């Protein structure tokens, strides 16, 4: 068993690597070569990457793909997607082209409110605390003047602060529940700075005015943003759904709607259904330098907001019109953080014509809707595996280190045969025997 190490963070990058190799690896030379192979040859760029996080030893690459032909509110986009999963970019591109020919995607930002909370306990009377809060609320806001002045100048800032009594859930527990408008910034640092100032002011004023003890627990933004909402939808007459793989539009529309309805009422299906949506959303969020973990957490909480986990997308058939839509919370930014540091994030935002945060919310929602449409369309027509396994074919070939000549022969073979892992292995073996 390895010994615990002290001062690891103070080692140089090379020293960290050598310690790891000495402690955990048998083949040190090949492991060292692998780690260094992924360093960027541009020393300045590598230093930038090294300083994004702590204890860096190398870079971990993901493919950056592009899904073209997204018509959103009359503007044509090519959407950047950073993801490792086969078929996601292809499916999004196929859905984009399908709906381009039927009027494209329509989107709107419903609201952009973000939330932060100061959590504290108070052992005195709740009515006394309410009176105190109403008195101190203006001081809470004025004490943040230096923090908020630039944001207010641009039209954002603190929207409101409420006192929430949570003592029925947890003994003596209260919150300052604050709402914010952060414009094109995701706003985490801004919100947390405001919250910590609220907490200091609250504590100071409480010591002067309240009889009971007020104890601060923590001050932190929430990644659950049910009032930072965007909607995206597609619609067309059912007859216009007819295409190469949709021979009977009426039957397709009905089966598609039933598939979405199942995801609305069946949790096991809803989780996989929404995972497909997040394939599209996470890929764009990551490509544009935003926090996909925060988005994931908030989205799944929103899917459970009524007490049961359910589908994020919905479908209707009315007056011979097929409609498919998503309404989803997305707290995104296009300034600050990695957006001004990571070269490929800047590249991705340039590709999207330097979007505002509201623009990006709409683009990301569309990516999720497109991905879900492609998945449900496949499930209710050809089945998901036919397209997915064809996209996965190259991964299998690379796993077995197929040569370029072998790849050409095998790809040609599977144009007319079903792709399975065992079938691909057999085809490789047959070629190599010959």
Give the residue numbers marked as catalytic: 85, 275, 291, 388
Distance CA 194, CA 192 (A): 5
Burial of 39 (0-12, 13-18, 19+ CB in 10 A): middle
Roughly what angle, to the nearest 10 degrees, separates helices 267-287 and 357-379? Answer: 140
Q: How far apart are CA 401 and CA 412, in angstroms?
A: 17
CA–CA separation, 195 vs 208, rounded Å?
Answer: 20
Give the integer Cα–Cα distance in Å for 118 and 163.
10
| End-to-end C-alpha distance for the chain, whole angstroms | 48
Largest CA distance in the chain: 89
Q: Are 39 and 46 spatial neighbours (Cβ–Cβ below 8 Å)?
A: yes
How far is the C-alpha of 244 from the C-alpha of 237, rounded, in Å?
A: 17
Q: Rg (Cα) of the chain, in Å, rounded?
A: 26
Evaluate whether 289 touches 343 at the Cβ level (below 8 Å): no
How far apart, in whole angstroms, are the C-alpha atoms of residue 259 and residue 336?
40
Q: Are 309 and 324 in contact (CB under 8 A)?
A: no
Q: How far apart are CA 360 and CA 331, in angstroms?
A: 10
DSSP-assigned letters across all residues of 295-319: HHHHHHHHHTTTSS---SEEEEEET
Q: Which residue has the tokens 């957490």?
A: 297
Identify the three-state secondary structure at position 340: helix
Those residues whose C-beta lies under 8 Å from the C-beta of residue 69, and which sit 6 or more positions away, are 76, 78, 93, 96, 97, 100
Q: Would you say how long the chain is, in residues?
A: 434
Q: Which two tokens stand for residue 351?
A: 């590709």
DSSP string, 88-122: HHHHHHHHHHHHHTTT-BEEEE----EEEEEEEEE
What beta strand segments (E) does 254-355 contain? 313-318, 321-329
Starting from the edge strand earliest in sequence, which strands make up the sheet with 114-122, in order? 157-165, 173-181, 114-122, 214-222
Q: CA dist 197 to 110, 121, 193, Å?
A: 30, 17, 6
């Amino acid at each position: 068993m390895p010994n615990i190490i002290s001062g690891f963070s103070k080692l140089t990058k090379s020293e960290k690597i050598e310690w790891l190799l000495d402690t955990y690896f048998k083949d040190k030379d090949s492991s060292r070569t692998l780690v260094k192979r992924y360093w960027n040859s541009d020393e300045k760029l590598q230093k930038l990457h090294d300083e994004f996080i702590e204890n860096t030893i190398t870079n971990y690459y993901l493919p950056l793909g592009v899904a073209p032909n997204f018509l959103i509110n009359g503007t044509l986009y090519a959407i950047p997607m950073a993801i490792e999963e086969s078929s996601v970019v292809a499916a999004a591109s196929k859905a984009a082209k399908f709906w381009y020919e039927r009027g494209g995607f329509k989107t709107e930002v419903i609201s952009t409110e973000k939330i932060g909370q100061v959590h504290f306990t108070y052992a005195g009377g709740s009515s006394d605390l309410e009176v105190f809060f109403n008195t101190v609320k203006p001081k809470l806001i004025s004490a943040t003047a230096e923090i908020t002045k630039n944001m207010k100048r641009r039209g954002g800032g603190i929207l409101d602060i409420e006192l929430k009594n949570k003592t029925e859930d947890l003994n003596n527990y209260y919150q300052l529940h604050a709402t914010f408008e952060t414009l094109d910034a995701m706003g985490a640092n801004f919100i947390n700075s405001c919250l910590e100032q609220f907490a200091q002011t609250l504590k100071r004023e409480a010591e002067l005015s309240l009889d009971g003890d007020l104890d601060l627990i923590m001050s932190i933004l929430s990644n659950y943003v049910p009032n930072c909402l965007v909607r995206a939808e597609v619609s067309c007459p059912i007859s216009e759904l007819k295409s190469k793989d949709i021979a009977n539009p009426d039957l397709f529309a009905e089966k598609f709607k039933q598939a979405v309805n199942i995801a609305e009422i069946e949790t096991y299906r809803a989780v996989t259904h929404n995972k497909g949506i997040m394939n599209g959303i996470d890929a764009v969020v990551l490509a544009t330098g935003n926090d996909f973990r925060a988005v994931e957490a908030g989205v799944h909480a929103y899917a459970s907001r009524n007490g049961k986990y359910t589908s994020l997308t919905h479908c209707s058939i009315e007056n011979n019109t097929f409609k498919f839509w998503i309404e989803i919370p997305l707290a995104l930014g296009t300034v600050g953080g990695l957006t001004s540091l990571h070269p490929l994030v800047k590249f991705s935002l340039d590709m999207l014509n330097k979007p505002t945060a509201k623009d990006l919310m709409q683009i990301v929602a569309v990516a999720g809707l497109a991905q879900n449409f492609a998945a449900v369309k496949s499930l209710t027509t050809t089945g998901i595996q036919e397209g997915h396994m064809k996209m996965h074919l190259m991964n299998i070939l690379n796993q077995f280190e197929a040569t370029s000549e072998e790849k050409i022969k095998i790809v040609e073979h599977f144009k007319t045969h079903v792709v399975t892992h065992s079938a691909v292995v057999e085809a490789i073996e047959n070629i190599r025997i010959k």
